Chains A and B, each alone.
Chain A
Amino acid sequence: MAKFFAITIIVIAIASAIPIVRHTWWLAPDISTHGAPIDEQMSETMAEAGVSFLVSQILLAIFIWRFSQPRPGGKIKNFPGGAMGLVIGAFLLVGTEVLALGAFGAKAWASIYFTPPAPNALPVQVQAGQFAFYFRYPGPDGKFGPIHPNLISETNENFYGIDQTHDADSKDDIVTAEMAIPVNREIQLLMHSKDVGHSFFVPELRIQQDFVPGLDLSMHFTATKIGRYEIVCTQLCGLGHYNMKAYLSVLSPEDFDAWMKKEAALQ
Chain B
Amino acid sequence: MHDSTAHEVHHAPPSSFLRKHVFSLDHKVIGKQYYALALVAVLVGMVLSWLMRLHLGWTSLAIPGLHLLSKTGAPGDVMTPEYYLQLMTMHATIMVFFVLTTAPFAAFGNYFLPIQVGAEDMPFPRFNMMSFWVTCTAFVVLVASFFVGDGPTLGGWTQYAPLSAVGSVAGPGEGMGVVLWASSIAIFCIGQLLGSLNFITTTLDMRTKGMSLWRLPITTWGWFVTSLMGLTAFAVLMPACILLILDHVAGTSFFVPSNLVLNDQLQPHAGGSTLLWQHLFWFFGHPEVYIAIVPGMGIVSHVLITNMRRPMLSHRTLIYSFGALAVLSYMVYGHHMFVSGMNPVSSIVFSFPTLIITIPSTIVVLIWIGSLYGSKLRTNTACLFSLGFISMFITGGISGFFLAQPSIDIMLHATYFVVGHFHMVMGVAAMFGIFAGTYFWFPKMYGRMMNETLGKIHFWLTFVGAYCIFMPFHYLGLAGNVRRYQAFVADYMQPLIPVHKFITVAALATGAAQLIFLYNLFYSRYRGAVAPANPWQATSLEWSTPSSPPPFDNFGGKLPTVYHDPYQYGVEGSSGDYVMQDSPEQIQSVRDEA
Do A49 and B401 have beta carbons less than 8 Å apart?
A: yes
* Interface presence of B250 (CB below 8 A): no
CB within 8 Å for A27 and B480 given contacts A42-B411, A130-B262:
yes
Residues of chain A lying within 8 A (CB to CB) of residue B172: 239
Do A78 and B374 have beta carbons less than 8 Å apart?
A: yes
Do B405 and A105 have beta carbons less than 8 Å apart?
A: yes
Chain B contacts with A in 440-479, Cβ cutoff 8 A: 456, 463-464, 467, 471, 475-476, 478-479
Do B341 and A91 have beta carbons less than 8 Å apart?
A: no
CB distance from A68 to the nearest CB of B (A): 4
Do A77 and B373 have beta carbons less than 8 Å apart?
A: yes
Residues of chain A lying within 8 A (CB to CB) of residue B456: 1
Do A37 and B407 have beta carbons less than 8 Å apart?
A: yes
| Cα A8 to Cα B161 with chains together (Å) | 44
Partner of B594, one of A38, A77, A83: A83
| Cα A82 to Cα B387 with chains together (Å) | 20
* Interface presence of B419 (CB below 8 A): no
What sequence of 0s and 1s flags, for each residue 141-176 of chain A, a beta carbon within 8 Å of any chain B beta carbon? Answer: 000000001101111000001000000000000000
Residues of chain A lying within 8 A (CB to CB) of residue B594: 82-84, 87
Residue of A nearest to B267 (CB): A195
Do B402 and A49 have beta carbons less than 8 Å apart?
A: yes
What sequence of 0s and 1s flags, for each residue 62-98 of chain A, a beta carbon within 8 Å of any chain B beta carbon? Answer: 0110011011001111110011101101110011001
CB within 8 Å for A90 and B359 given contacts A9-B391, A53-B394, A67-B376:
yes
Do A28 and B492 have beta carbons less than 8 Å apart?
A: yes
| Cα A236 to Cα B352 with chains together (Å) | 27
What sequence of 0s and 1s flags, for each residue 364-392 of chain B, a beta carbon within 8 Å of any chain A beta carbon? Answer: 01110111111111110000100100110
CB distance from A264 to the nearest CB of B (A): 26
Residues of chain B lying within 8 A (CB to CB) of residue A91: 359
Surface stretch bound by A, among B183-191, B308-316, B507-515, B554-562: B308-316
Tell me which of A27, A70, A98, A153 has the highest count of chain B C-beta atoms within 10 A of its own C-beta. Answer: A98
Residues of chain B lying within 8 A (CB to CB) of residue A211: 341
Do B85 and A241 have beta carbons less than 8 Å apart?
A: yes
| Cα A79 to Cα B594 with chains together (Å) | 13
CB within 8 Å for A76 and B344 given contacts A102-B351, A153-B264, A236-B155:
no
* Interface presence of B518 (CB below 8 A): no
| Cα A210 to Cα B384 with chains together (Å) | 43
CB within 8 Å for A155 and B394 given contacts A45-B408, A113-B344, A197-B160:
no
CB within 8 Å for A86 and B398 given contacts A76-B376, A101-B355:
no
Do A99 and B410 have beta carbons less than 8 Å apart?
A: no
* Interface presence of A109 (CB below 8 A): yes
Residues of chain A lying within 8 A (CB to CB) of residue B371: 79
CB within 8 Å for A239 and B491 given contacts A41-B407, A206-B410:
no
Do B162 and A213 have beta carbons less than 8 Å apart?
A: yes
Residues of chain B lying within 8 A (CB to CB) of residue A28: 479-480, 492
Residues of chain B lying within 8 A (CB to CB) of residue A214: 257-260, 272-274
Do B391 and A199 have beta carbons less than 8 Å apart?
A: no
* Interface presence of B163 (CB below 8 A): yes
Do B410 and A59 have beta carbons less than 8 Å apart?
A: no
Surface stretch bound by A, among B208-216, B481-489, B539-547: B481-489
* Interface presence of A258 (CB below 8 A): no
What sequence of 0s and 1s flags, for each residue 130-144 of chain B, a beta carbon within 8 Å of any chain A beta carbon? Answer: 000000000000000
| Cα A132 to Cα B401 with chains together (Å) | 33
Do B372 and A60 have beta carbons less than 8 Å apart?
A: yes
CB distance from B46 to the nearest CB of A (A): 22
Do B81 and A242 have beta carbons less than 8 Å apart?
A: yes
CB distance from B343 to the nearest CB of A (A): 9
Residues of chain A lying within 8 A (CB to CB) of residue B478: 20, 25-27
Tell me which of A37, A68, A74, A153 has the highest count of chain B C-beta atoms within 10 A of its own C-beta. Answer: A68
Do A210 and B405 have beta carbons less than 8 Å apart?
A: no
Do B81 and A240 have beta carbons less than 8 Å apart?
A: yes
What sequence of 0s and 1s flags, for each residue 566-594 of chain B, a beta carbon within 8 Å of any chain A beta carbon? Answer: 00011000000000000000000000011
Partner of A235, one of B309, B310, B362, B414: B414
| Cα A197 to Cα B464 with chains together (Å) | 38
Partner of A94, one of B160, B257, B358: B358
Residues of chain A lying within 8 A (CB to CB) of residue B496: 25
| Cα A109 to Cα B371 with chains together (Å) | 39
Do A98 and B339 have beta carbons less than 8 Å apart?
A: no
Partner of B266, one of A59, A129, A149: A149
Residue of A nearest to B81 (CB): A239
* Interface presence of B490 (CB below 8 A): yes
Partner of A26, one of B341, B479, B492: B479
CB distance from A147 to the nearest CB of B (A): 9
* Interface presence of A253 (CB below 8 A): no
Do B410 and A38 have beta carbons less than 8 Å apart?
A: yes
Residues of chain A lying within 8 A (CB to CB) of residue B299: none
Partner of A102, one of B352, B476, B480: B352
Can you list 25 A-B contacts (CB < 8 A)?
Answer: A1-B384, A5-B384, A12-B391, A26-B479, A53-B395, A56-B398, A68-B378, A68-B379, A76-B376, A79-B373, A86-B363, A87-B317, A87-B366, A90-B359, A105-B351, A106-B406, A109-B407, A130-B170, A150-B266, A208-B410, A214-B258, A230-B490, A236-B160, A239-B80, A243-B487
Task: Using CB atoms and an 8 Å cutoff, list the residues of chain A in contact with chain B.
Answer: 1-2, 5, 8-9, 12, 16, 19-20, 24-28, 37-38, 41-42, 45-46, 48-49, 52-53, 56-57, 59-60, 63-64, 67-68, 70-71, 74-79, 82-84, 86-87, 89-91, 94-95, 98-99, 101-102, 105-106, 108-110, 112-114, 129-130, 149-150, 152-155, 161, 194-197, 199, 201, 203, 206-215, 217, 230, 232-243, 245
6 new A-B pairs (CB below 8 Å) besides A152-B261, A210-B339? A63-B372, A70-B376, A112-B407, A213-B162, A238-B82, A241-B85
Name the 9 nearest CB pairs between A and B, nearest first: A214-B257, A77-B374, A83-B314, A239-B82, A98-B355, A242-B485, A234-B414, A113-B344, A105-B405
